Amino acid sequence: MKIATWNVNSLKVRLPHLQEWLAAGGPDVLCLQETKTEDGKFCVPEIEASGYRCCYSGQKTYNGVAILSREPAADVQIGIPGYDDPQRRVIAATFAGVRVVCVYIPNGESVTSEKYKYKLAWLEKLTAWIETQLRTYPKLALLGDYNIAPDDRDVYDPKAWEGQVLCSEPERQAFQRLIGLGLVDSFRMFEQPEKSYTWWDYRMNMFKRKLGMRIDHILLSTELAPSCRSCVIDKDMRAKERPSDHAPVTAELAL
DNA sequence: ATGGCGGCTCGCAGCCGA
């Protein structure tokens, strides 16, 4: 079973890219972020024509998450239970006994911003919920746009970014608290190329200059991690015409 | 040097992302 995550930065604009990927043998389960699409306008016919089902939680203009899958989803959960967040950032469902949690973690804007406080508070809510989810679902995958570069090697210029949003210690500690629940960064289970990133700023030719950050992740529970055979970033998607600024990440599970 | 690109909207300028 292949599971993947991709921040599409508008599903409407990226639908052709998505359809091409799915037609060429896409993952079995695909978590999407920043769909920027209201539920009533979700492109269900196009997804189904590609041979996938979907569940989604979206809103106009901002945020929005979805899970596409070849098999039907079970036990779909929208949002973090007990957390009344108007921003559509979480959807979870179960596939073949694997709990798949799709997250779009807040960006935070800058470490002095109110949005940064929201990001850290949001991460605490997520962590508490994932802790309980792991008890219910020992086989769990937490996929999405984390907006956190967990390590200096995940940043093109760690000196310049030191202490900045995406790289600050509180954010990295929050990431490590998730790891501490019993999760593994699947990407780092394997030898990877130097300068592996998942996001490159549209500006300043950052992609061509190979200057990016690794902020999209697939974390696997300790029970699920041993079945992981690979984890790769699909950089080609970022090289296409009119790309998302994020590339997809795919993990292959021997299930 | 806080820009830059690209997406969005009760659009034609301003917000937001990261």
Find tokens 């998302």 and name the residue. Answer: A244
pTM value is: 0.97
Q: Which nucleotide is nearest to A145 (CA to C1')?
A: B18
| Per-residue model confidence as pLDDT tens digits over A59-83 | 999 999 999 999 999 999 999 999 9
- Report the greatest alpha carbon distance in chain A: 47
pLDDT band at A186 (very low <50, low <70, confident <90, very high): very high
B16 C1' closest Cα residue: A62
Measure the CA–CA gap between A131 and A185, rounded to whole angstroms.
16
Strand B: which of residues 128-157 in chain A lie with Cβ below 7 A? 145, 147
What does the pLDDT read at residue A171?
Answer: 98
CA of A59 to C1' of B3 (A): 30
In this complex, the residue with its CA at the shortest distance from the C1' of nucleotide B15 is A61
For the segment A41-54, the average pLDDT, to the nearest whole number, is: 97
Reported as a pLDDT band with limits 50, 70 and 90, residue A189 is very high
Q: What is the pLDDT of residue A234?
A: 97
Strand B at less than 7 A from CB of A207:
no
E-assigned strand segments in chain A: 2-7, 29-33, 53-57, 65-69, 74-78, 90-95, 98-104, 140-145, 183-185, 216-221, 228-233, 249-253
Task: Determine the average pLDDT of the residues in A172-200.
Answer: 98
What is the distance in angstroms measured between the alpha-carbon CA of A64 and the sugar C1' of B10?
22
